[in-house]
Amino acid sequence: MNVKIDFHNVTLRFKKFEALKNISASLEANKIHGLIGRNGAGKTSLLSLVAAFREATDGQIMIDGEPVFENPDKMQQVMFVYDKSYAEEYDKIPAMLEFVERHRPYYDKEYADYLLKRFKLPLDKPVHKLSKGMQSAMNAVMGLASRAPITIFDEAYLGMDAPTREIFYQEILADQAEHPRTFILSTHLVSEMDYLFDNVVIIDQGRLILNEDYETLTARGASITGAAEQVDEFTAGMKILNEQKLGGTKKVMVYGTLDEQRLSAARQQGLDIGPVSLQELFIHLTEEAQ
């Protein structure tokens, strides 16, 4: 399912407030895209446009070269899963899944049945009587089993405990390997979920800060660990993201690519060079954008 998403100068206004500001980007097909941003950055606004829940004020969102808004063929290719209240939902899980099956042509019932067992979900209780964690797991089943060419999870893990979230992540990776599609995962749990991402999209205050391959992005920083004095000397003049000291040992995270000459010099001084976390880079990039 080779389904690509293009944003062309997308702006979204609510009266005088600009939720999204002139966003242009392409999201490659069959990749897992991590969408990250601070609270109120515009993540959900952006995703609601992809799902055609609303129309952009200016600009256009295209799926495989066609506008998605009021385009039934393209709309059914998108499954948008988000955290919502089920307080008034008296149906049981099978009825919820039947609705997905009717409206999403790639839905896989056999896979849904497998996921229901994997998440240990009860089929005989009304949805409003399920715990928050079970409702979140049901959301995960609906999104995964839809096999929609574009599957969006917007903070869909809310309510899941850590073991359930781990099952959710495992299933995303396993199904992506067998049945590739375009995933967009919007999250605050950056350090927990970063290993899932092929590509990272960062937005801040409605603006696109970055849309980049995960490996390329994380290579922009490094952690340097060793004797405090040597680490300070080596990192002098670099952009420091974070530093920690324990006794005579220091670990410093820096922003900037280290060339082979610098890496060789670090090794000769007995310094350990490691990767920098996506979370540290995210904090730095969104601080810079303020």
Are 21 and 10 in contact by the 8 Å Cβ rule? The answer is no
**Using one digit for the tens of pLDDT, what is the confidence trace for 246-257?**
999 999 999 888
3-state secondary structure at position 5: strand
pTM value > 0.85? yes
What residues contact 273, with CB distance under 8 A and at least 6 apart?
A: 222, 223, 224, 258, 263, 266, 267
Cα distances (angstroms) measured from residue 284 to each of 19, 38, 120, 217, 287:
22, 12, 40, 12, 5
* Pairing of β 17-27 and β 5-14: antiparallel
Mean pLDDT of 51-66: 95
Predicted confidence band of residue 288 (pLDDT cuts 50, 70, 90): low
Backbone angles phi, psi at 116, to 5 degrees: -60, -40
Mean pLDDT of 175-198: 95
Catalogue the E-assigned strands of the chain.
5-14, 17-27, 32-36, 58-63, 66-67, 78-82, 150-154, 182-186, 199-204, 207-213, 221-227, 239-246, 249-255, 272-274
Asked whether the predicted pLDDT for residue 263 surpasses 90, the reply is no
What is the rounded CA–CA span in Å between residue 26 and residue 6? 4
**Using one digit for the tens of pLDDT, what is the confidence trace for 72-114?**
999 999 999 998 899 999 999 999 999 999 999 999 999 999 9
Instruction: Output 108-116 pairs: Cβ under 8 A, ≥24 positions apart.
Output: 108/145, 108/147, 109/145, 111/144, 111/145, 111/147, 111/175, 112/141, 112/145, 115/140, 115/141, 115/144, 115/145, 115/171, 116/141
Which conformational region is residue 31 in: left (phi greater than 0), alpha (psi within -120 to 50 degrees), or beta?
beta
Q: What is the pLDDT of residue 189?
A: 87
Predicted confidence band of residue 265 (pLDDT cuts 50, 70, 90): confident
Mean pLDDT of 52-77: 94
Q: What is the pLDDT of residue 241?
A: 87
Asked whether the predicted pLDDT for residue 290 surpasses 70, the reply is no
Q: What is the pLDDT of residue 289?
A: 58
**Using one digit for the tens of pLDDT, what is the confidence trace for 188-235?**
889 999 999 999 999 999 999 999 999 999 888 899 999 999 999 999
- Which domains, and CATH codes, for the chain? 5-212 (3.40.50.300), 219-288 (3.30.70)
